[in-house]
Amino acid sequence: MSEVKINETVLRDAHQSLMATRMTTHDMLPIIDTMNQAGYYALECWGGATYDAAIRFLNEDPWERLREIRKRALNTKLMMLLRGQNLIGYRHYADDIVDIFVKQAVENGIDIFRIFDALNDPRNVEASVNAVKKYGAHAQLAICYTISDVHTVAYYTQLAQQFVEMGVDSICIKDMAGILTPKVARELVSEIKKVIDVPLNIHTHSTSGIAQMTYLAAVEAGADMIDCAISPFAEGTSQPATEAIALALDEIGYRSHLDIEKLEEIANYFKGIRDNYLASGELDAKMMFTDPKALIYQVPGGMLSNLYSQLKKAKAVGRYDEVLREVPNVRADLGFPPLVTPMSQMVGTQAVFNVLSGERYKMVPNEIKDYLRGKYGKTPVPVTDAFRESLIPGEAVMTDRPANHLEPEFDRLKNELGDLGKTTEDVLTYALFPEVGKAYLERKYQTDQLIRIQARYRRE
């Protein structure tokens, strides 16, 4: 019987894609012990936008979340999503920050680092891979899947081979927009498996309605692992339902190792959690439906939920489809970057600005200008000189590894943070999110001080 390993995404990508990463640690912890017994290969539970959302919106310590999950998941690997030189933030960080962050993540419980670069620029993942291997964890390099004249099966196959030569432990095809079709998946997996000698993981979303067919084609072509989400947080902009995929694969001769009774218990628990978020409005039912237009606009699930949230705040939800139509136009202008963090936020925000301002590129975020300056890496397709000149006239473009231009910054930031930097994790929080992180740390230690004062009064 052939084997297919399944990763569970409900603790990270599922709620990031469906409701902008608002699930709390309190809602996760009661079910972790059961998830630990279900037979998953790994629980994707950290990284991506979870850190940012925890300190920005939930007033939670993301490191404490990881530690608490680790305590309850002793027999199951924990996976995080790492944005290469961007780590879990939105700019490139110096190599010393990358090294220290990875070290802390390993010590707090991460087993597998799924590492990607938004532009698939190998130079931008070197430091992360080196750090992960240095601290004894599993380095999985992810190839961001997108569609353009440049992004062919041959391109991805060559990239996979190049990544394996960097010494990684596995490769992932990361289809964040749900646009990998069954036909292409079959060909892509077949060709990549010919040139790599490490496991191949396929990650997709149900956004366009074809994910289940894509997974079947990929597994039949030789994929070793796939990502699924437990049913209450599955489908729509999330991943296919874990239980359904496991049952279907088991029936046709693929052993998933999953305990269906445990999955049912997990699903029943998350049904209640889902209903609570639906009632509060944090989970919008619109995100739970498929939309084949994703095959046209190539917009990933997390980006869809964030775009919708952004337009909701601007009282412009009625222009949602108009913004979606503008996204591929902006992407073409920028050299067809894959729509994954931070490029998805940058392209999405620019599309919103173009639509709401009534004039394309009347308002341009600094991040877009830095991208055109080469500070994010090499664009998949060269940006036209005329377009670049129209936004950053007369400016030089960086052509080497962007992090080469960054001086070590941990010690400087530690001194800058002062008394708020009580732990290495505090300094990392400040380094990754200076304004939001500092505000969070101020709240955190004010609360701790209040608790100590209250405890002292009770003793007295």
Contact 323, 268 (CB under 8 A): no
Task: Tell me what pLDDT residue 450 has.
Answer: 58
Query: Are 147 and 239 found together in one domain?
Result: yes
Is 291 inside a domain boundary? Answer: no
User: What are residue 172's DSSP bridge partners?
Assistant: 142, 201
**What is the residue-wise DSSP string for 140-196?**
EEEEEP--SSS--HHHHHHHHHHHHTTT-SEEEEE-TTS---HHHHHHHHHHHHHH-
Task: Tell me what pLDDT residue 456 has.
Answer: 55
Query: Are 252 and 391 found together in one domain?
Result: no
pLDDT in tens, 265-299: 999 999 999 999 999 999 988 788 888 877 877 77
Residue 443 pLDDT grade (very low, low, confident, very high; cuts 50, 70, 90): very high
Residue 306: is its pLDDT beyond 90?
Answer: no
pLDDT in tens, 139-181: 999 999 999 889 999 999 999 999 999 999 999 999 998 999 9
Structure tokens of 131?
């750090």
Query: Are 201 and 309 found together in one domain?
Result: no
Query: Are 399 and 413 found together in one domain?
Result: no
Among 30-34, 71-75, 114-118, 342-346, the range scoring the smallest mean pLDDT is 342-346
Greatest CA separation found in the chain? 73
Residue 448: is its pLDDT beyond 90?
Answer: no
- Angular region, 296: left φ>0, alpha ψ -120 to 50, beta rest: alpha
pLDDT in tens, 320-373: 889 999 999 999 999 999 988 889 889 999 999 999 999 999 999 999 999 999
Residue 4: is its pLDDT beyond 60?
Answer: yes
Is 263 inside a domain boundary? Answer: yes
The last residue of one of the domains, among 253, 286, 319, is 286
Task: Tell me what pLDDT residue 341 has.
Answer: 81
Query: Are 282 and 335 found together in one domain?
Result: no
Q: Which residue type is seen at 251?
A: E
Task: Tell me what pLDDT residue 455 has.
Answer: 57
The last residue of one of the domains, among 286, 312, 331, is 286
d(CA 128, CA 220): 32
% the chain with pLDDT above 90:
86
Query: Are 376 and 424 found together in one domain?
Result: no
Please, what is the average pLDDT of the chain? 94
- Report the chain's C-alpha Rg in angstroms: 22
Query: Are 355 and 449 found together in one domain?
Result: no
Among 229-238, 254-263, 280-289, 351-360, the range scoring the smallest mean pLDDT is 280-289
Tell me how many domains the chain contains.
3
Task: Tell me what pLDDT residue 425 has.
Answer: 98
Query: Are 388 and 445 found together in one domain?
Result: no
Q: Which of the two residues, 290 and 447, has the higher pLDDT score?
A: 290
Task: Tell me what pLDDT residue 255 has.
Answer: 96
d(CA 194, CA 210): 25
SS (H, E, C) 97-119: HHHHHHHHHHHHCCCEEEECCCC
Task: Tell me what pLDDT residue 296 has.
Answer: 79
Task: Tell me what pLDDT residue 262 has.
Answer: 98
CATH number for the domain that contains residue 198 = 3.20.20.70
Is 136 inside a domain boundary? Answer: yes
What does the pLDDT average to over 392-421?
A: 96
Q: What share of the chain is helix, strand, coil (3-state, %, to 5)?
A: 55, 10, 35
What does the pLDDT average to over 67-80?
A: 98
Task: Tell me what pLDDT residue 36 has.
Answer: 98
What does the pLDDT average to over 370-385?
A: 94
Task: Tell me what pLDDT residue 309 has.
Answer: 81
Residue 457: is its pLDDT beyond 80?
Answer: no
What residues make up the domain containing 36? 5-286
d(CA 56, CA 50): 10
What does the pLDDT average to over 83-87?
A: 97
Q: For residue 381, what is the DSSP state?
A: S
Task: Tell me what pLDDT residue 299 has.
Answer: 74
Residue 458 pLDDT grade (very low, low, confident, very high; cuts 50, 70, 90): low
Is 337 inside a domain boundary? Answer: yes
Query: Are 229 and 279 found together in one domain?
Result: yes
Q: Which helix or strand (DSSP H or E) is residue 432 part of?
A: helix 424-432
Query: Are 240 and 352 found together in one domain?
Result: no
Query: Are 158 and 26 found together in one domain?
Result: yes
Contact 59, 91 (CB under 8 A): no
Query: Are 356 and 427 found together in one domain?
Result: no
Is 394 inside a domain boundary? Answer: yes
